[in-house]
Structure 1
């Protein structure tokens, strides 16, 4: 049996998968208080905003998701991309360094770090 607590996140993921971004934003906002301490929910909401090219709104969700789950390389990767979209070089460099602490063999983070540090 699927827990009723998981259903709202499943619906949010489905809206995202189906490309219903405006609906996903509205639905997600209505759940925010209930799921404010849920790293997965915060990651999904950050992703919704990032997909609709609103990195500024995505960033706080990725930051909260990472605070709740500090070993999540995927969240850090999207957080890095949000910083890049906002032209926040130093923050992107910090994210790359954190990714490499968690995943020392992450060549994507290493390549990006090398590139950013050479600019």
Structure 2
């Protein structure tokens, strides 16, 4: 019988696991990557613009996600001196550090859809 391997419990490993856990907690949910990607591509946007761009999200959910991301320093919120008052959101410098990750996720998603389409086309060819 083979002995099962255990995860290295050194301080370095624990720090890495904690960092991964923190990252997943901050970025979890259905909408955060979509909102970040939209703001990274579109620049500063008003709430209603985001609501239109992020297909399928409810206003209440968008508001909550934006609050979470602002609290985690990923986006900034600017209240504009207009009537009625409008609010603009944009990705912070710190939030922009996620751009390479989001770009890689988009690249993977594109490749996945292509592979899936090719496989489906291959199966329906017969």
Question: Which TM-score band (shorter chain)?
Answer: under 0.3
**TM-score w.r.t. length of structure 2:** 0.26
Quick check: which one's helix share is greater? 1
Higher relative contact order (CA 8 A, sep 6+): 2
Larger radius of gyration: 2
Quick check: which one's strand share is greater? 2
